[in-house]
């Protein structure tokens, strides 16, 4: 690879939320962490590294600045981390034997989405950048899932760490989502309306508040697929297309179409913080799944407890309904209003053994 990802160009857009979808090893994470250090040296501003689950904090914080410590521009600094903070200290001058005590400063914070409510009591100062790495989860990963209402949880975290007011001046927080092209139906694409006509390059969404950079990795892909052991192992496979070529594998808008006006509401579902409306089109013989439920609807089924776990008692009571519904699924009679709804509704179907 001839060079790392060009963060200087991306940062020049100064978007509220920036998402970079690039191949593994492109230097997205390395370059952004390098920028965190530049920020602190310039004006003392800090970063927040967000993970989904609390048990991920140790793995992320350990060795966080490992490769950056050896850069020439950081030779006069020391770094250390724990699961809550990242620290930086300038090496004392005229201290060749290292006897002078280091003065440590907080340069960043680590926090988990699942701990977001408790973190509201924690103090965050001078935060400029907030990052969620691995924002897109591998479609083949059976052990990790997006959180219920993940986008809203992240927005709440941004509010917590910045305490930004519309009527005051100060540091405006910027959010960065980093990921690989492994799941088009992720909650971030869903919220900002990213559609399947996605092309390589930069593109604005949501009144120029969300910037998506879908990185063309042709040069890097050829080098990785032929010049590395992992690349040669993955060559020709779907995983290789994701890892090196940054291609969305399995990208499909099949069964995605808008509900016709004449469709009649059948029933609603509340599941893990999400709600879905199921509508019947008796003319064409399809069922449509949307995010809308009529205000006066009475046939509503709740399949999760207050702690977002599946309520299997409620699920059992409606098993016959979903047995019939499963038949429609296998017959290809379900339609979804968006790819994101299609992805999220799969969790409901899996609850009833429909795959």
Strand partners for 131 = 49, 176
Average pLDDT over residues 263-272: 87
Q: Which helix (H) or strand (E) holds 40?
A: helix 28-43
Closest CA to 15 of 199, 212, 165: 212
Q: Which pair of tokens denotes residue 244?
A: 């090196």
pLDDT at residue 101, as a whole number:
85
- Kindly tell me if the per-residue pLDDT of 71 is higher than 50: yes
Domains of the chain: 7-243 (3.40.50.300), 264-351 (no CATH)
Predicted model pTM: 0.74
Q: Which residues pair with residue 87 across a beta bridge? A: 80, 106
Q: Looking at the predicted structure, is the pLDDT value of residue 85 above 70? A: yes
Q: End-to-end CA distance of the chain, in Å?
A: 40
Residue 84 CB: number of other CB atoms within 10 A?
Answer: 12
Q: How far apart are CA 244 and CA 181, in angstroms?
A: 10
What's the pLDDT tens digit per position in 169-210? 667 899 999 998 877 878 899 889 887 778 899 999 999 999
Position 279 pLDDT exceeds 90: yes
Q: Are strands 85-90 and 105-112 parallel, antiparallel or unpaired?
A: antiparallel
The whole-number pLDDT of residue 330 equals 83
- Contact criterion met (CB below 8 Å) for 300 and 270: yes
Query: Which residues lie across from 132 on neighbouring strands?
Result: 50, 177
Query: For 109-130, what is each residue's pLDDT tens digit?
Result: 999 999 988 888 888 999 999 9
- Of these ranges, 44-48, 137-141, 160-164, the one predicted with the greatest mean pLDDT is 44-48
Strand order in the sheet with 210-214: 77-81, 85-90, 105-112, 46-51, 127-132, 174-179, 17-21, 210-214, 201-205
Q: Is the pLDDT of residue 45 over 80?
A: yes
In this prediction, residue 141 carries a pLDDT of: 66
- DSSP conformation class of 67: T
Mean predicted confidence (pLDDT) in 275-284: 92
CA angle 83, 89, 93 (to 5 degrees): 160
Q: Which of the four pLDDT bands, split at 50, 70 and 90, describes residue 160? A: very high
Q: Hunting for tokens 């007011």 — which residue is that?
A: 165
Q: What is the mean pLDDT of residues 233-243?
A: 55
296 vs 274: CA distance, rounded Å: 18
Contact criterion met (CB below 8 Å) for 110 and 93: no
């Amino acid at each position: 690879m001839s060079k790392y990802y060009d963060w200087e160009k991306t940062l020049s857009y100064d978007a509220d939320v920036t998402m970079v979808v690039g191949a593994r090893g492109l230097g997205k994470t390395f370059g952004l962490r390098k920028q965190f250090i530049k920020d602190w040296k310039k004006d003392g501003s800090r970063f927040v590294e967000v993970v989904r689950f609390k048990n991920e904090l140790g793995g992320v914080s350990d060795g966080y600045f490992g490769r950056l410590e050896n850069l020439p521009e950081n030779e006069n600094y020391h770094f250390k981390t724990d699961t809550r903070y990242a620290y930086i200290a300038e090496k004392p001058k005229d201290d060749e034997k290292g006897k002078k005590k280091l003065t440590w400063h907080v340069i960043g914070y680590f926090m988990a989405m699942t701990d977001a409510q408790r973190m509201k009591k924690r103090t965050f100062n001078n935060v400029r950048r907030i990052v969620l790495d691995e924002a897109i989860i591998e479609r083949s990963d059976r052990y990790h899932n997006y959180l219920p209402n993940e986008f809203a949880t992240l927005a709440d975290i941004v509010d917590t760490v910045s305490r930004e007011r519309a009527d005051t001046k100060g540091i405006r927080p910027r959010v960065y989502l980093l990921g690989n092209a492994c799941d088009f139906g992720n909650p971030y694409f869903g919220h900002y309306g990213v559609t399947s006509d996605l092309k390589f390059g930069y593109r604005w969404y949501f009144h120029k508040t969300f910037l998506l950079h879908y990185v063309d990795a042709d040069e890097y892909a050829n080098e990785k697929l032929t010049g590395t052991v992992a690349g040669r192992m993955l060559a020709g496979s779907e995983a290789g297309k994701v890892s090196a070529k940054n291609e969305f594998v399995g990208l499909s808008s099949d069964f995605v179409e808008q509900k016709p006006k004449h469709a009649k509401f059948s029933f609603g579902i509340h599941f893990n913080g999400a709600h879905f409306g199921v509508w019947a089109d008796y003319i064409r013989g399809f069922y449509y799944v949307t995010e809308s439920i009529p205000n006066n609807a009475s046939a509503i089924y709740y399949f999760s407890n207050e702690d977002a776990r599946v309520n299997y008692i409620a699920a059992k009571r409606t098993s016959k309904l979903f047995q019939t519904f499963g038949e429609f699924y296998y017959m290809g009679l379900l339609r979804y209003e968006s790819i994101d709804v299609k992805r999220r509704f799969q969790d409901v179907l899996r609850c009833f053994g429909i795959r």
